[in-house]
């Protein structure tokens, strides 16, 4: 049974940093495209960053240069290092996975979000000004 468990969210002031983690259970981690998505109240879920099975990465323009996605295949864990946080980064952050390569997730504006089969419960990030 596939399970994704996020941790590391919290409240910080603008300019601060947080590191999110996503522990994956129940599948061969390296065979899955992994991603971070976020959703603010009243907004659609949006892609933040994805990492393909060949380690290709895509970032949302709004986080480029501030956020870094990485993974440790030995630990079956995905990370999102978030630096220079802004109030507009406030959202629930979700880890997601789908079997195989990223495919259209590298090209669609919405990261082909519906193609991601597995989701964590989310971790809240709140950035105050």
> How high is the pLDDT of residue 93?
98
Most confident option among 3-12, 21-30, 105-114: 3-12
In this prediction, residue 27 carries a pLDDT of 82
Q: What is the pLDDT of residues 64-78, one digit of tens each?
A: 999 999 999 999 999
- In sequence order, what are the residues at sequence separation of 6 or more whose Cβ sits closer than 8 angstroms to the Cβ of residue 75? 23
Q: What are the pLDDT digits (tens) for 109-129?
A: 899 999 999 999 999 999 999
Q: pLDDT averaged over the chain?
A: 95
Q: Which residues contact 76 (CB under 8 A, 6 or more apart)?
A: 23, 24, 25, 29
């Amino acid at each position: 049974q596939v399970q994704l468990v996020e941790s590391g969210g919290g409240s910080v002031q603008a300019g601060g940093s947080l590191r999110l983690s996503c522990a994956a259970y129940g599948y061969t981690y390296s065979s899955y495209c992994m991603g971070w998505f976020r959703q603010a109240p009243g907004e659609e879920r949006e892609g933040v960053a994805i990492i393909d099975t060949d380690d290709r990465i895509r970032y949302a323009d709004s986080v480029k240069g501030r956020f870094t996605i990485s993974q440790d295949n030995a630990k079956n864990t995905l990370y999102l290092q978030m630096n220079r946080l802004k109030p507009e980064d406030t959202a629930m952050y979700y880890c997601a996975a789908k079997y195989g390569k990223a495919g259209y997730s590298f090209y669609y504006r919405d990261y082909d979000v519906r193609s991601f089969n597995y989701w964590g419960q989310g971790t809240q990030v709140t950035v105050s000004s």
